[in-house]
Homo-oligomer: A and B are copies of this chain.
């Protein structure tokens, strides 16, 4: 009873020390996960793809994102606008039309996205083989 309580080092304490020296992220992976959540959204990649080629109107995006509802398209565009990936512009026609276009921020995410996409296309067969073999094993 006289021995002092053993103090176990807090798991990941090296990281925590590093985190404390940084400003924004509450955990190391927080911005990473936010970005992954953003990119993993059902329609985000489809819309970024379209907008990579230039400004698009709402109807053009709806046609390109085959199967998207207008409500979901509106929500996704608002969310991309809120995060600063997409902006809107009205033209000066008599009946002004709204165009959606990538911001520099939105354009810059295309690069890491391309890295994920390239990896995915190279490795999806391996993932699928692994799943088949995993599911076939007795457990």
Contacts and interface: CB of A to CB of B under 8 A. Distances in A.
A105 B126 contact: yes
B134 A63 contact: no
Interface residues of A, number: 53
Give the dominant DSSP class at A's interface. Answer: helix
A84 B49 contact: no
Contact of A129 (B84, B129, B135): B84
Number of identical monomers bound together in the oligomeric complex: 2
B36 A49 contact: no
Interface of A: 10-12, 23-25, 28-37, 39-40, 42, 45-46, 49, 63-64, 66, 81-84, 105, 108-109, 111-113, 115-121, 123-131, 134-135
